[in-house]
Amino acid sequence: MATKTFKISGMHCAACAAGSEKSIKRLPGIISANVNLATETAVVEYDPALVKFAEIKAAVSMLGFTPVELEDKKAVAEEVLRKQAEARAIRRRVIISVILAVPLLYIAMGHMMWSSLPLPAFMSMHDGPLGYALVQFVLTAVILYCGRRFYIVGFRSLIRRIPNMDTLVAIGTGSAFLYSIYNTVLIALGSHEAVHLLFYESAAIVVTLVMLGKYLEAFSKGKTSEAIEKLTELAPDKATIEKNGKQLEISTSELTVGDIVVVFPGGRFPCDGTVIEGISSADNSMLTGESLPVPVSEGSGVIGGAINGEGLIKFRAEKVGSETALSQIVRMVEDAQGKKAPIAHLADVISGYFVPAVLVIATVSAVVWALLGKDAAFVLNIFVSVLIIACPCALGLATPTAIMVGTGRGAEFGILFKSGEALQSAHDLTHIVLDKTGTVTEGKPVLTDIALAGTMEENKLLALAAAAESGSEHPVARAIIRAAEERALELPQASDISAIPGRGIEAKVSGKSVLIGNAALMQERGVDASMLREDAEKFSSSGKILMYCAVDGTAAGLFAAADTIKEGSVEAIKSLHKLGLKTIMLTGDNANAAKSIADSVGIDEVVAEILPGDKANEVEKLTKSGMKVAMVGDGINDAPALAAATVGIAIGTGTDVAIESADIVLMSGDLSGVYGAVKLSRAVIRNIKENLFWAFIYNCIGIPFAAGVVYAFGGPLLTPMFGGAAMALSSVCVVGNALRLRGFKIK
């Protein structure tokens, strides 16, 4: 099986996207096809043994659209240039059409407003009916030529039995234009009463309004992807590297792993890497959503696109080009915008049936009014009005535009939705399941308490212990060493260091024999630590990890370490509760430690002392009971649970495996991002529902007016021009409503 993502240029409405999907799905060997109108992207899964990609492209081309392979950089670049040129051409055609539409309206309808309309006699309705008709014919012909794409694509889609918005416009305005030509011929043959049966202005104004609406819609849609554009612009074009003691400026695309990169104060980091020299700060706000700059020094990681603060930094390039965090963010957001949310399929299904249904309604309405004795002008007005006002543009834009703006806005806060489905699923969550270590807590213990058993001073005991532990990677050992460093203690030299597996360590420090380890080690070596029992019970009841220390065979003290709660975790849990979400913490730690952490941050429920594999089982229990569950984690052992949850949320500072398994990635590593993701999801889904409501209501209200149902009961009759204006306005309104999400704030 193969999956291909490519662009489809030239689509205008939901029916265009649905038609493209249908055309592709008709081919043998197609497993799935997903066409997104807002991003003009198609994702097709197919069997290469049964169908070739060239055949898929041909199926799209047959509809009048242009398929462009994303891997073909030259074609993509040409397509960008072509679209820019097309945008300029559309703007030019719109301007020409508007300029010509003004005198056309003046000639065709001025007599309805003014009794004595100042017009030359040869184009007067009464004195020169043929000139009156021919001038309108010429002006309309030029306008319709400007909008010729509606006819090319519309009739081609009709022939392929996949009618779309262009089909409705083409049939409606084409009918009005041809009927007007017929009456112009009658006028030329002497039937001057046919001057009242000209519909040139209806055809011309409708095409002009639809073109103007499409232009405004494209302009508005361009703003929906501004977040992506801002992100792609973060990476600098040039980078300064240090080679053989000299600094060279090269293109960022030439950077390779291992290069020593120099970034001056105020400059942007051109790729990801690790600092080898310098002290500064990095503004990661556009990438992670963190409001404050983070300190960076030797050993710190830096992200491409972040802004260097006040100091000169040298770092070793580790991820370049498409491997950088910035590139991955852009790729994730683009993927999310290209994949439909389940709610989008509702619009797709409706659009697939909507256009044929409108053609039937327009035809039936026209026939009924003709049978009721109405003249040809009235019947044509009904036919054209129904076709024009029912164009499903707004329906097709309702979902993808909101998803585009929502995912882009999320990226600005460091919240990455990997699919439209993830964005939708997050809005109705009921439970948030949290891993403890690295998610709620920092994941590295710090020394919290020192209890003394003898007369040795606290700092001296700490220095001896830190010296003995200097070669150990045990988390508590590292906590002891960090505590000594923070107190700026001078550590004596240690020798004869020997690790005792599962127990602790022993060493010679300043001529003293130092033994550090658990209670079992003390007991094995005959060290009496009974005087520390009360302290040990107090510390262990709080879930702290204990480490005894004996000097020359005598108990000297007890060290207690605990994992610290991440800054912002307490506030994040409070925020989740405000959204009505229940919080559960899963951990392999002992029950006391887990309960202590949970109580400190306000988590509702704790499941402790479980194996990594059991985390997924716990999540599955909740989902099978009907709960909508999000799993939040950062480690390799969280990956199965992330995949099992309704929505998997990975802390971006965690492992690649966790990030790959998740549906949402929080780049900042801050738990408050969970609250932001749920709140943003709810805002986007609410926006989509508003868009769909207005799109549906617009058609439901508009069609009865256009078909003459309201007129039959004494109400007004909709004209094609009003229908065209309303149709264009509805699309712009839907996009405008989606753009409101750009102002979304987490707090």
Last residue of a domain, one of 622, 648, 678: 678
Asked if 35 and 42 count as a contact pair (C-beta separation under 8 A), the reply is yes
- Do residue 467 and residue 581 come from a single domain? no
DSSP β-bridge partners for residue 555: 550
What tokens does 3 get? 């999956």
Cα 733 to Cα 13, 397, 446, 522, distances in angstroms: 15, 10, 55, 75
**Residue 213 binned pLDDT confidence (cut-offs 50, 70, 90):** low
Q: Is the pLDDT of residue 337 over 60?
A: no
Interval 488-512 mean pLDDT:
86
Q: 746 pLDDT exceeds 90? A: no
Q: Return phi, psi of residue 334, to 5°.
A: -65, -40
306 and 270 together in one domain = yes
Q: 604: domain range?
A: 402-440+566-678
Taking residues 693-700, report their average pLDDT: 77
> Is the domain of 582 the same as that of 663?
yes
Tokens of 280: 């500064």
Clarify whether residues 532 and 416 are in a common domain. Answer: no
For residues 570 and 673, state if they share a domain.
Answer: yes
The token pair at 79 is 């397509």
Of 657, 678, 699, which residue constitutes the final position of a domain?
A: 678
Sign of CA dihedral 683, 685, 686, 688: positive
Q: Give the three-class secondary structure for 455.
A: coil
Number of domains in the chain: 5
CATH number at residue 253: 2.70.150.10
pTM > 0.75: no
Q: How many CB atoms lie within 10 A of CB 482?
A: 15
Q: What is the 3-state secondary structure (H, E, C) of 288-319?
A: HCCCCCEEECCCCEECCCCEECCCCEEEEEEE
Burial class (CB in 10 A: 0-12, 13-18, 19+), 486: exposed
Report the distance separating Cα 605 and Cα 587, nearest Å.
11
With the CA atoms of 581, 585, 591 and 595 taken in that order, what torsion angle do they form, in degrees rounded to the nearest 10? -50
Tens of pLDDT, residues 595-635: 888 888 899 998 887 766 677 888 888 888 888 999 888 75
- Mean pLDDT over all residues of the chain? 81
332 plus 262 within the same structural domain: no
Instruction: Compare 76 and 63 and report the one with higher pLDDT.
Output: 63
pLDDT winner (highest mean) among 270-274, 331-335, 589-593 = 270-274
For residues 57-86, give the mean pLDDT.
Answer: 75
289 and 368 in a single domain? The answer is no
Are both 629 and 694 inside the same structural domain?
A: no
Q: The domain that contains 12 carries what CATH number?
A: 3.30.70.100
Token pair recorded at residue 681: 């999801």
- Distance, in Å, from the CA atom of 382 to the CA atom of 117, rounded to the nearest integer, reads 28
Is residue 41 within 8 Å of residue 7, measured between CB atoms? yes
Angstrom distance (rounded) from CA 614 to CA 631: 13
pLDDT score for 116: 56
pLDDT attached to residue 655 = 45
Same domain, 40 and 89: no
Nearest to 302 by CA among 334, 277, 335, 339: 277
Provide the pLDDT confidence category of residue 182 given band limits of 50, 70 and 90. confident
Regarding whether 231 and 246 lie in a shared domain, the answer is no
Give the residue numbers marked as catalytic.
435
Q: Give the pLDDT confidence score for residue 73 in this predicted structure.
A: 60
Q: Is the pLDDT of residue 291 over 60?
A: no
- Among 131-145, 332-346, 485-499, 594-608, the minimum mean pLDDT is found in 332-346
Q: For the domain that residue 455 is a member of, what is the CATH number?
A: 3.40.1110.10
Q: Are 162 and 19 in contact (CB under 8 A)?
A: yes
Lowest-pLDDT range, 166-170, 514-518, 550-554, 654-658? 654-658
More confident residue, 692 or 37: 692
CATH number, residue 664: 3.40.50.1000
Encoded tokens for 74:
């030259």
Handedness of CA 577, 586, 639, 642 (dihedral sign): negative
**263 and 315 in contact (C-beta within 8 Å)?**
yes
Query: Are 175 and 112 contained in the same domain?
Result: yes
- Name the residue with tokens 């400059």: 267
In this structure, the number of other CB atoms found within 10 A of the CB of residue 72 comes to 12
Indicate whether 205 and 335 sit together in one domain.
yes
287, 438, 443, 623 from 636: Cα distances, Å: 23, 12, 14, 21
DSSP state letter for 744 = -
Q: Amino acid letter at 284?
A: N
Domain end position, chosen among 644, 678, 712: 678
